[in-house]
Structure 1
């Protein structure tokens, strides 16, 4: 399958995977043939791109996207109700959750949400643990309006994969995933960060308070461990002591927080924000590696490098010989060596694939990404 901008899809295209919004609502189901009404719906929901069937491209999304959509739904209800309405949780066939959701008061809701967050993170962990292919190059359907929800879920996904690669125990990975899911939810309180301008000093100081608020949110959810909550408090600390709120260094920062710090920064950089355009995949990837041992823990970055490829399927790249190629597929453990093909464009600006180019060949290497879809 390949990624395609909504503005460029046509009625011949077949949807490769479900398209869902930040509330977990399925907008277009897998295997649907695109129609004009499909295109209108995608534009109405501000979906920037979709994945269409194309055997020439391969995207590794590892996780069950039904679980991802359901987790988005739960997270959205949690944020909208400030954790005080657990009505939606009655649908899940888990006796303990249904029992507390039935009461639907603040205390019972906090207990129910605590269980359901761990339930879904456990499902993501099981899927990732049993996946032979750990290269993760899936881009979700986020936009500026729904960034927080997609960002939180994707940071949790990346963190789980890094934790598995680093050999963490299951309990620690569940704590890691839950903490990564909840750590940034208090950011929705700061509406000024959605403005198309640089924050002033007072706003930056106010925004930095989100680490305290996030910690409180996590600690108030029944069953969420201190290790998970600490992620909210420490995810902006940096290896060299340049972070906040305590300017902690290296060993003073928990390993789980170090993992989320890397996942958080990478995912934020590849996202369009009101105040800047998204970094290309290679730029964000280079930023993480360039700051290994400086801002970020070296061991975490080693695992990040294996799991997150430098280039994403569909990226158009420039080669050292001046020609351009398109990324077809990534390979686990070879994050800088994707399968690429030369191409040409027809009069409709459609890409016509041509010859394979092996980046393992010493005569060819990728200089940079020149065009990407986000």
Structure 2
């Protein structure tokens, strides 16, 4: 009597062409419809039958034809992501988090980046994703022009926007997920005030970005509540070179004692400040304290280590995808996540 090795039998059972659902059904001894029910996690399948089908799938190396499934269900299992350029740490971190969350739930992603930050470019990019047949879009571009384009477009698929837009109403069909930027700025400013600083300059981010506007607002409100003058130094963008330029212009004020602390709208601007002060022989934090925003992976390793506000990007990504796939409990409701202050060596009490 000849003995058949199970692994040899499995290899012989595997067709030379790509296995189909019919092949799975034949090996499992069930109908095509039963295989379909197992694949779609239908509850009305006996556990023993489900196990036989899953075993056959594994033995044959069957993989679902997503294109064929899309024709039947009108779903592609693909999420579109509209974002800004990869040079922006916050949006890029959020995009990676959304992609990871989508993969964990069995979705592919299609990413489109804006080449210009205006309404027309945003409309073109949105239509590009819709034309691909994506099941929904997560917008990681916290710009007023982008949200205006979304407001002007009657999209037939769900859209979630990651942006600190605070004027959303219950009538808005778009869902928003964001970190409380105003609270993060409040935490940074209260930290400096608590150390004894009263002459705190804010190096603000670019106009037209929701996050920059909310950080500016949070700093202004906190300074007003403390009875302190709010002096803003506009950087114009998010980059270290601009922070360096602003820092160079603040050196004499620091030396004169007119400025004892600087709150930068992001860590890159803060890095530029650190460089400008170092080149001028201004010691941080002995002569001036510096606080950033975002908590770059490298922020803990500068000299001195940068005090900053951390954003929970992984949580933002999961929340955005959950909102897209599962919906919100209330139309127009925003999911707001909390930032946290990370005190490090770049902030200290002012010289007495």
TMscore range, shorter length: under 0.3
Greater Rg over alpha carbons, structure: 2
Structure with greater contact order relative to length (CA < 8 Å, sep ≥ 6): 2
